[in-house]
Amino acid sequence: MLMLCVSWGFNQVAVKLALPDVPPMLQAMIRSACALPVMLLVGRLRGVKFFERDGTLQPGLAAGLMFGLEFVLIFFGLVFTSASRAAVFLYTAPFFVALGSHQFLGERLSKTQWSGLALSFAGVALAIGVPQPNVDAKVLLGDLMVVGGGALWAATTLVAKGTALRKAAPEKALGYQVAVSIPILGLASWIAGERITHMPGALSLSLLAYQSIWVVGCTFVIWFAMVKTYSPSKLSAFTFITPLFGVVAAYLVMHDTLTPVFGVAALLVIAGLYLVNKPDPKVTPDPNVPA
């Protein structure tokens, strides 16, 4: 889990660094197109029956639609906002998962969890309102796009929790999302008039390979597999250190400007998300339900 969190924390930095050579939607489309064969190969080696009728087609297509739109918002958002800010705002997704679970899945939140929601909201509000150098309306628009991507990530999680996808192999559940996202991202790229004007450098190509083969093709599958094997609540708690790795990576690699107030805001978000997902000792979690 620590390895997954480090990988995800550096992902926003990888996207940002590749933008000068590869536009955002093309970058996302290439990532999905290259990750799909990796998942199909891994699934084939594990004996996964991708085309078996198991009631997952409709929820899989719905999850794929949201997955594609999620990355449209995230990648466009990274054009306007910094990688460090995106690292924090993207991981508001568990915040939306908690609200959605309460509303649509009938899960009751404890007082501690509601306190966590309030704490996370305060952190996000503080981070958006913190006066920083080079923060203008475009940066705030990028922040909101990334938050929207986090909300769609949460919606995809809720679909996976409440439908037949929860019983599918991780490669198949994720395969729906990656496959459907390819035409969505391609259409978004065409509408935006994106094109690659020169041969991407070695750094950009290596970053695309990192995103495609490792982040999407491997770590996402590992995550779904671990959720089926171990306690989802305990695994979910680990993911709250991901924004910290993202902020540190953006500061070290891209030299993003960080203020002490923004650091406090990030800690509020992470602390709040931890409280939201803190297991209730009175409730035994269902090991078959993804966090």
Measuring CA to CA, which residue among 156, 181, 159, 7 is closest to residue 93?
156
What is the C-alpha separation between 96 and 53, in angstroms, rounded? Answer: 31
pTM, whole model, 2 decimals? Answer: 0.78
What's the pLDDT score for residue 281?
Answer: 59
Check: CB of residue 158 under 8 Å from CB of residue 105.
yes
Measuring CA to CA, which residue among 264, 279, 246 is closest to residue 124?
264
What's the pLDDT score for residue 234?
Answer: 59
For residues 195-202, average pLDDT: 92
pLDDT digits (tens, 9 = 90+) for 201-210: 999 999 999 9
Q: Reply yes or no on whether the pLDDT at 153 is more than 50.
A: yes
Q: Reply yes or no on whether the pLDDT at 233 is more than 80.
A: no
Q: Which of residues 21 and 139 earns the better pLDDT score?
A: 21
Check: CB of residue 198 under 8 Å from CB of residue 21.
yes
- What three-state secondary structure class fits 212? helix
Check: CB of residue 127 under 8 Å from CB of residue 269.
yes
What's the pLDDT score for residue 133?
Answer: 59
What is the C-alpha separation between 131 and 286, in angstroms, rounded? Answer: 43
Considering only 35-49, 94-108, 198-212, which range has the smallest mean pLDDT?
A: 94-108
* Cβ-Cβ contacts under 8 Å for 199 (sequence gap 6 or more): none
What's the pLDDT score for residue 289?
Answer: 45
Helices within the chain (DSSP H only) = 2-9, 11-18, 24-45, 57-80, 83-90, 93-104, 111-129, 137-162, 170-191, 202-209, 220-229, 232-238, 242-254, 260-276
Percent of the chain with pLDDT over 90: 28
